[in-house]
């Protein structure tokens, strides 16, 4: 009598694509999510040449890739890889999650904003509704979080960027969702005639370059909160906040974990628990 053997389903392939990429914690995060939810998938980090995103993605797909996270500096460029976009990706004008659908089409999504809001409100316990937010930067990172921040009920967002025209363009795209204004980064060192801000979010690459951001005292209070989207080291921005006696300071590790959980849900239909993993990563990094 012969036994019938049912072959196990092969592992689905996923990756994070960026430049640089060696610092990424995403492979570890998704491996933990997969193990906890018994998902047959593998996830790796892929360094893409600055002019090679399309080829890197094509190679991943040819090797059986089912999806990818897209990180700096490719989030805007990744839109061109998509056959369709989620509402939040279209609104953001940036993509950080690619999915290969059953029909072979590629769908782009943006989970950054959902991850940021969940980290701020749930993990940090900071209120967003009714707050005034100063958002530093007008690139893909800012574009990805503006809509979710406004949807969370913030009272006002000021986008500060080195090139004011870029901030103005981004503000105009979201003007229908709430109160948004702009400022040139150079103006941050000067006195602010309007009220100070309850929350300052650094969405620039300054921390990766070890640079601080000069913000005058009239833009914030000691009771304000500061959030740096970078993680894994004591950034110059957080060091500046500590020097100003601002006690509520947070890096972007929680945002990373929460946006990854959202991407995992998009791909696998399972929403993983984030708390144990976040606590473990935090303990190691601290």
Would you name the residues annotated as active-site residues?
A: 75
10 Å CB burial of residue 209 (0-12, 13-18, 19+) is exposed
8 A C-beta contact, residue 97 and residue 132: no
Q: Does residue 71 have a known ligand-binding role?
A: yes
The sign one gets for the Cα dihedral 232, 237, 239, 245 is negative
Q: Does residue 139 have a known ligand-binding role?
A: yes
Q: Does residue 113 have a known ligand-binding role?
A: no
Q: What is the DSSP letter of 217?
A: G
8 A C-beta contact, residue 57 and residue 49: no
Q: Does residue 87 have a known ligand-binding role?
A: yes
8 A C-beta contact, residue 230 and residue 24: no
8 A C-beta contact, residue 127 and residue 266: no
Q: Does residue 248 have a known ligand-binding role?
A: no
Q: Does residue 144 have a known ligand-binding role?
A: no
Q: Could you give the CA distance from residue 49 to residue 56 in angstroms, rounded to a whole number?
A: 8
Q: Does residue 137 have a known ligand-binding role?
A: yes
Q: Does residue 45 have a known ligand-binding role?
A: no
Q: Does residue 163 have a known ligand-binding role?
A: yes
Q: Does residue 131 have a known ligand-binding role?
A: no
Q: Does residue 268 have a known ligand-binding role?
A: no
23-34 per-residue burial string, b: 16 or more CB within 10 A, e: under 16: ebbbbebbebbb
Distances (CA, A) of 131 to 127, 204, 262, 270: 7, 21, 24, 32
10 Å CB burial of residue 172 (0-12, 13-18, 19+) is exposed
Q: Could you give the CA distance from residue 161 to residue 149 in angstroms, rounded to a whole number?
A: 18
Q: Does residue 138 have a known ligand-binding role?
A: yes
Q: Does residue 162 have a known ligand-binding role?
A: yes
Q: Does residue 96 have a known ligand-binding role?
A: yes
Q: Does residue 112 have a known ligand-binding role?
A: yes
The number of angstroms, rounded, from the C-alpha of 240 to the middle of its chain's C-alpha atoms is: 22
Extract the annotated binding site for shikimate. 24-26, 71, 96, 112, 231, 259
Extract the annotated binding site for NADP(+). 87, 137-141, 161-166, 229, 252
Extract the annotated binding site. 24-26, 71, 87, 96, 112, 137-141, 161-166, 229, 231, 252, 259
């Amino acid at each position: 009598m012969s036994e019938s053997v049912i072959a196990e389903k092969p592992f689905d392939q996923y990756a994070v694509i960026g430049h640089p990429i060696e610092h990424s914690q995403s492979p570890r995060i998704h491996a933990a999510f997969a193990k906890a939810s018994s998902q047959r998938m593998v996830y790796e980090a892929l360094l893409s040449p600055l002019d090679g995103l399309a080829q890197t993605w094509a190679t991943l797909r040819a090797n059986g890739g089912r999806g990818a996270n897209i990180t700096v500096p490719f989030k805007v460029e990744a839109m061109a890889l998509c056959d369709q976009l989620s509402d939040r990706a279209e609104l953001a004008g940036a993509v950080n999650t690619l999915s290969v659908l059953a029909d072979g089409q590629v769908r782009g999504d943006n989970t950054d904003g959902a991850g940021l809001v969940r980290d701020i409100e749930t993990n940090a316990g900071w209120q967003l509704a009714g707050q005034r937010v100063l958002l530093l930067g007008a690139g893909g990172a800012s574009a990805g979080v503006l809509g979710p921040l406004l949807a969370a009920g913030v009272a006002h967002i000021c986008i500060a960027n080195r090139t004011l025209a870029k901030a103005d363009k981004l503000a105009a795209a979201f003007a229908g969702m709430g109160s948004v204004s702009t400022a040139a980064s150079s103006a941050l060192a000067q006195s602010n005639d309007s009220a100070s801000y309850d929350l300052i979010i650094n969405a620039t690459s300054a921390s990766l370059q070890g640079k601080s951001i000069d913000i005058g005292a009239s833009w914030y209070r000691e009771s304000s909160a500061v959030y740096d989207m970078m993680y894994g080291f004591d950034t110059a921005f957080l060091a500046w906040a500590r020097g100003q006696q601002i006690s509520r300071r947070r890096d972007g590790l929680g945002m990373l974990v929460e946006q990854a959980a959202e991407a995992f849900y998009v791909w696998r239909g399972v929403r993983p628990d984030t708390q144990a993993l976040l606590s473990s990563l935090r303990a190691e990094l601290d």
